[in-house]
Amino acid sequence: MSPLLIVVAIVAVVLLLTGGFVPSLQFLLWVGVVVAVVAVIMFIMRSMSGHRNA
């Protein structure tokens, strides 16, 4: 897994937790969902392309 993908996944989890625990920051929940979806799409595209980092 590339370092960028790991960072994106961590940011998504942090945003999801923050959006869930703080009602006034509810929009972060949706931002976290979008970032998580982008991370999953990046992972799928990388795995389908067959490109492997050594």
**pTM summary value:** 0.54
**Of 37, 28, 49, 50, the residue nearest 9 (C-alpha):** 37
* Residue 53 backbone phi and psi in degrees, to 5: -85, 140
The 10 Å Cβ neighbour count of residue 33 is 14
Q: Could you list the pLDDT tens digit for every one of the 54 residues in the chain?
A: 678 778 888 888 887 777 666 666 677 777 778 888 888 888 888 888 866 554
Question: How far apart, in whole angstroms, are the C-alpha atoms of residue 20 and residue 23?
Answer: 7
